[in-house]
Amino acid sequence: MPNGRGASKPPRQWRAVDLDERRANAMSVGFFLDCADFFLQKGQREAGLRILSNLAEMDLQNRQVLRLLAYRLQQAGEIQVALPVFERVLELAPHEPQSHRDLGLALAEAGQAQGAVDRLYEVVTGSWDARFPDIDLIALGELNAVVARAAREGKPVDVSAIEPRLLKNLPLDVRVVLAWDADATDVDLHVFDPNGEEVFYGHNLSYQGGTISRDATSGYGPEEFSLRHAKPGRYRVEANFFGHRQQVLSSSTGIMLWLSSGFASPAQQDRRTTLRLKSQGGERVVVGEFEVSA
């Protein structure tokens, strides 16, 4: 349970504790998010998804609540259910590039390549607030990866509306993307390579050519680490959570790590990890480690 009450009880009593505490938390977004996370982590998928559905009924005009709901549904593998929620977020916040990118990536995950490319191109060509640095470049790499994959699968997309000079697929040996689910929040991506070199916003180019995007101190990220030719060995990914500059909706912030080997190539393999960090900030955690073979 969000406050720890009931977690030690037998599983058959968890739902009863949830219903009992709900009376005092009927309008608490954080309560429903944390309860849903609890049940999903315990393998009680049906209960977790049912609790998430309460968010959709609370405030259909609050883009942040709906964005949190869509992220949770996507993380739970309910991509078809998440799509209309992402579409609603875009209607409410077309001025935020994350609204377009989130929907584009969800469409790509759902196998709708054309829609994905159209949404991602909006991010590439849009004029965005300075608090969203490099999201256009990150989306451009993702757009070209979707176009290349569709072509390999014999289902090419229409790219006639895209400026030709932007259509160039650039495969990477290693790509790490870190995003988070709370606005006005500062989380930093740190990657340690086999040389022991740390790449982050204060040291954004490594000896072997690993680069990191500009520091995203507001919004929802993302921050991206890319390496075209990776040295064999072990890599470690960390997230440094500084904290919020707004009233938070949940007792913790979710960080989403997307790790790709062979990104934008036929050999691409993806691994996604989601972690919850305490909302008061000042926390640094290891998000994942991976090995690059010779």
pLDDT digits (tens, 9 = 90+) for 249-268: 555 677 889 999 999 999 99
d(CA 58, CA 46): 20
Residue 177 is predicted with a pLDDT of 96
| Percent of the residues in the chain that have a pLDDT greater than 90, as a whole number | 54
Q: Is the pTM of this model over 0.85?
A: no
User: pLDDT tier at 39 (50, 70, 90 boundaries)?
Assistant: confident
Per-residue pLDDT, averaged over 29-46, amounts to: 74
Residue 105 is predicted with a pLDDT of 96
Residue 115 is predicted with a pLDDT of 98
7-11, 38-42, 122-126, 226-230: range with lowest mean pLDDT: 7-11
Contact 30, 249 (CB under 8 A): yes
Residue 14 is predicted with a pLDDT of 45
Per-residue pLDDT, averaged over 89-115, amounts to: 96
User: What pLDDT, in 10s, does the model give residues 203-246?
Assistant: 999 999 999 999 988 778 899 999 999 999 999 999 998 876 65
d(CA 239, CA 91): 31
Instruction: Decide the pairing of beta strands 252-263 and 283-292.
Output: unpaired
Token pair of 35 as six digits: 């309860």
- What are 156-165's contacts with CB under 8 Å, separation 24+? 157/113, 157/114, 157/117, 158/114, 159/117, 161/121, 162/117, 162/121
d(CA 289, CA 294): 17
| Integer-rounded Cα radius of gyration of the chain | 20
Instruction: Decide the pairing of beta strands 269-278 and 172-180.
Output: unpaired
d(CA 177, CA 264): 14
Token pair of 64 as six digits: 């942040």
Q: What is the mean pLDDT of the chain?
A: 85
Q: What is the 3-state secondary structure (H, E, C) of the chain?
A: CCCCCCCCCCHHHHHHHHHHHHCCCCCCHHHHHHHHHHHHHCCCHHHHHHHHHHHHHHCCCCHHHHHHHHHHHHHCCCHHHHHHHHHHHHHHCCCCHHHHHHHHHHHHHCCCHHHHHHHHHHHHHCCCCCCCCCHHHHHHHHHHHHHHHHHHCCCCCCCCCCCHHHCCCCCEEEEEEEEECCCCEEEEEEEECCCCCEEECCECECCCCCEECCCCCCECECEEEEECCCCCEEEEEEEEEEEECCCCCCCEEEEEEEEEEEECCCCCEEEEEEEEEECCCCEEEEEEEEEECC
Per-residue pLDDT, averaged over 124-130, amounts to: 94
d(CA 148, CA 161): 16
Residue 31 is predicted with a pLDDT of 73
Residue 159 has φ and ψ, to the nearest 5°, of -115, 20
Q: Is the pLDDT of residue 166 over 70?
A: yes
